[in-house]
Homo-oligomer: A and B are copies of this chain.
Amino acid sequence: MLARRDLANAIRFLSMDAVQKADSGHPGMPMGMADIAEVLWNDFLRHNPTNPHWINRDRFVLSNGHGAMLLYSLLHLTGYDLTIEDIKRFRQLHSKTPGHPELGTPGVETTTGPLGQGLANAVGMAIAEKNLAALFNRRELDIMDHYTYAFVGDGCLMEGLSHEVASLAGTLQLGKLIVLYDDNHISIDGNTRGWFTDNTPERFEAYGWHVMPCVDGHDAKSISVAIEEARDVNNKPSLICCQTKIGFGAPNLAGNAKTHGSPLGDAEIAATRQALGWEYPPFFIPVEIYNAWNAKKLGERLETEWQEKFKKYRRANPILAEEFLRRMNGQFPKDWERKSKAFIQTTIEKNQSMATRKASEMCLDGYAALLPELTGGSADLTHSNNTWHAQSKSFTAAQPDGNYIHYGVREFGMFAIMNGLALHGGIIPYGGTFLTFVDYGRNAVRLAALMKQRVIFVLTHDSIGLGEDGPTHQPIEHAAMLRLTPNVTVWRPGDLIETAIAWKSALENQQGPTCLLLSRQNLPTERRDLKTLAHIHKGGYILQDSLKKPQAIIIATGSEVSLALQAANKLTAQGYLIRVVSMPSTTLFDQQDASYKESVLPAKVTARIAIEAGAADFWYKYVGLQGKIVGLNRYGESAPYQDVYAALGLTVEQIEKTLKSVL
């Protein structure tokens, strides 16, 4: 008769041995949390190893992602497409078992490692579930009805992000979010009493969570009772504080920070085999243990039951069922292409001058009517970011069918929750803050990019053009920083039309996040002919050309396009042959073929200047060492924006002078 401990030990030895073989990794956490994982996965988690994409599966997030071998062990043992050979290739090039869990490995719900973000993703997933359930479930036909479980460690809970998202989760009463805390009092520097003395249960109670303060994390019965209880609490997220020993089972190292991030060594592993009575060689799991873990049959049954329910649902609600599947599969409505193009046409006809943040709001009015999955929000700057549109409705505990999340002053939380919303499926998240404060959540933008998630960052007040709020609020290096981040598409549109095309591009971009950089100040709308309009989506295009071959090119983005045009017109009047290139998205311009790029920026024209109210040096990529940049290598100033532009030399005169200097 197998004991539960034997099942848990399978995790322990797979983890220990894989780390030892890789000669790097983190054995302590998988050994400490093995018993908890065993109970959760064998008794509670509703999932189907044969179909990791089953829509209504419970989500499991390993926020303390350095314990990757715990997750890989679970996936392997329960029957996911992750073989023992994959386990042996832990931390090797192009394996399914990288050093931290990465989206793409079957059964991995999100990429984790940067601490706290898995918890935030889980909050996002639980919001998505609550929202989709409210929108789609019908009496006795709960097609969206799953739990979201997360494992977190001391590191996750020390991170500020944990405060932001736990606070919001409490306010939103996410009753189906259950977090299991590996309360082992050890972090990399040693015993946490020197730097982490929070009363964590009290802290989470202050957020309105249901908290079980002290559960023996090595006792299956206690863990099971706690999870049962958590599942029964519907109006509060649950935190189960599991007292564990890091490296549990290692006779000499258990409880020691040394087990955190290094192989135990052959001797200690041998001693652990002895201590735990595990007589099998590395990477060998007895068939009866495999059998006890295997969740494929149960998983198939669970999904089949759900499919049956969904069939009934579809018969009763055929249109709703199609809409549900469309959203969950990330497809566009059939009329999307036609209607979105028609919307762009209306913006062309409007020809209105306005701030691009205002233009963005008009785009939301237009596109959100076509895409109900658009779910917005702001980090407490709703009416500055212009993220609230005609169809917006607040998502709250009492109104879970809303499509607008008041994230509060929690930029990082918002970004990482948006990643969770996108990962869950059924939702296209967008959220706003000032461009400067993308800093607060930068690593979540990066993870959206690494995971190639469709998340839309609405980043307003995109330059010194915000004026009086001053240098703390005026971004300088941010546009460049985002452009240099792989897989991030950046748009800095200059007027309503470019904004409309940027938004369409963002909505259609399923290969990564998009950052929309939008002005606070009003900008004129530029007139364009049809040919010019047809090129905007390429990210960079000739907005105004010289009559004959250009002598010089001025490249500009966003709010500086109109300055460039004014300067070009002055220079043209003086007889110069000037081309003006609007470059709202360097990301997309870089993706065009060489001949298009050459047609816009001919290699022979080396007299080039770029103008942008941001970090100058980024632009050498387009102007080269023979060109010059009218940009910023310093912080801004607090003053009306026209004064700031003038003081910092972003003027028509400066462009004119600079252009002459490169001819």
A443 part of interface (Cβ distance < 8 Å): yes
B113 touches A472 (CB 8 A): yes
CA–CA, A499 and B412, complex, Å = 33
A406 touches B189 (CB 8 A): yes
A 614-658 binary contact with B (CB < 8 Å = 1; else 0)? 010110110011100000111101111001100100000000000
Of A42-50, A94-102, A330-338, A524-532, the one touching chain B: A94-102
**Interface size bucket, A side?**
35 or more
A187 part of interface (Cβ distance < 8 Å): yes
Contact A206:B208 (CB < 8 A) given known A192-B408, A197-B170, A638-B91: no
Contact A207:B203 (CB < 8 A) given known A114-B437, A443-B439: yes
A408 touches B486 (CB 8 A): no
A481 touches B477 (CB 8 A): yes
Nearest-neighbour CB distance to chain B for A22, whole angstroms, equals 6
B93 touches A644 (CB 8 A): yes
User: Using Cβ atoms and an 8 Å threshold, which residues of chain B touch A477?
Assistant: 481, 484-486
Q: Which of B198, B202, B409, B487 contacts A187 (CB 8 A)?
A: B409
CA–CA, A447 and B154, complex, Å = 28
A323 part of interface (Cβ distance < 8 Å): no
State the number of copies, please.
2
Interfacial residues of chain A within 448-484, with CB under 8 A of chain B in the complex? 449-450, 467-473, 476-477, 480-481, 483-484
A188 touches B382 (CB 8 A): yes
A596 part of interface (Cβ distance < 8 Å): no
A599 part of interface (Cβ distance < 8 Å): no
A272 part of interface (Cβ distance < 8 Å): no
Of A160-168, A290-298, A502-510, the one touching chain B: A160-168
User: Using Cβ atoms and an 8 Å threshold, which residues of chain B touch A200?
Assistant: 206
Nearest-neighbour CB distance to chain B for A435, whole angstroms, equals 12
A159 touches B647 (CB 8 A): no
| Shortest Cβ distance from A188 into B: residue | B380
A41 part of interface (Cβ distance < 8 Å): no
Interfacial residues of chain A within 65-110, with CB under 8 A of chain B in the complex? 65, 91-95, 98-100, 102
User: Using Cβ atoms and an 8 Å threshold, which residues of chain B touch A92?
Assistant: 638-640, 643
A356 part of interface (Cβ distance < 8 Å): no
Contact A205:B202 (CB < 8 A) given known A480-B484, A481-B481: yes
A251 part of interface (Cβ distance < 8 Å): no
A468 touches B620 (CB 8 A): no
User: Using Cβ atoms and an 8 Å threshold, which residues of chain B touch A65?
Assistant: 472
Contact A484:B481 (CB < 8 A) given known A409-B155, A467-B24: yes
B163 touches A409 (CB 8 A): no
A381 part of interface (Cβ distance < 8 Å): yes
Contact A469:B195 (CB < 8 A) given known A93-B639, A409-B187: no
CA–CA, A471 and B442, complex, Å = 15
CA–CA, A187 and B409, complex, Å = 8
B199 touches A206 (CB 8 A): yes
Contact A113:B443 (CB < 8 A) given known A159-B160, A637-B94: no
A51 part of interface (Cβ distance < 8 Å): no
Nearest-neighbour CB distance to chain B for A345, whole angstroms, equals 34
Nearest-neighbour CB distance to chain B for A357, whole angstroms, equals 15
User: Using Cβ atoms and an 8 Å threshold, which residues of chain B touch A396?
Assistant: 194
User: Using Cβ atoms and an 8 Å threshold, which residues of chain B touch A22?
Assistant: 468
CA–CA, A440 and B25, complex, Å = 23
Q: Which of A100, A261, A483, A644 has the most CB of B within 10 A?
A: A100
A394 part of interface (Cβ distance < 8 Å): yes
B194 touches A198 (CB 8 A): no
Contact A443:B450 (CB < 8 A) given known A93-B637, A167-B198: no
A352 part of interface (Cβ distance < 8 Å): no
Nearest-neighbour CB distance to chain B for A206, whole angstroms, equals 4
A141 part of interface (Cβ distance < 8 Å): no
A4 part of interface (Cβ distance < 8 Å): no
CA–CA, A168 and B446, complex, Å = 27
CA–CA, A95 and B380, complex, Å = 29
User: Using Cβ atoms and an 8 Å threshold, which residues of chain B touch A199?
Assistant: 205-208
Contact A639:B380 (CB < 8 A) given known A102-B470, A112-B472, A162-B160: no
Q: Which of B155, B195, B437 contacts A407 (CB 8 A)?
A: B195
| Shortest Cβ distance from A614 into B: residue | B484
User: Using Cβ atoms and an 8 Å threshold, which residues of chain B touch A533?
Assistant: none
CA–CA, A626 and B158, complex, Å = 48
Nearest-neighbour CB distance to chain B for A354, whole angstroms, equals 19
User: Using Cβ atoms and an 8 Å threshold, which residues of chain B touch A633?
Assistant: 486
Q: Which of B100, B156, B187 contacts A472 (CB 8 A)?
A: B100
A 138-175 binary contact with B (CB < 8 Å = 1; else 0)? 00000000000000001110111111100110110000
Interfacial residues of chain A within 232-281, with CB under 8 A of chain B in the complex? 261
B159 touches A162 (CB 8 A): no
A56 part of interface (Cβ distance < 8 Å): no
Q: Which of B170, B194, B440, B624 contacts A625 (CB 8 A)?
A: B624
- Residue pairs across A and B with Cβ atoms less than 8 A apart, 27 shown, are A91-B639, A98-B471, A100-B473, A100-B638, A111-B472, A113-B470, A114-B437, A114-B439, A115-B409, A158-B167, A158-B410, A160-B162, A163-B163, A188-B381, A188-B384, A189-B381, A189-B383, A189-B408, A195-B380, A195-B408, A202-B202, A439-B443, A477-B484, A477-B486, A481-B484, A484-B618, A624-B626
Other than the given A94-B637, A112-B472, A486-B635, 15 more pairs (CB < 8 A) read: A100-B638, A113-B469, A114-B473, A162-B163, A167-B196, A167-B198, A171-B196, A189-B406, A198-B207, A206-B206, A439-B443, A450-B471, A477-B481, A481-B481, A617-B618
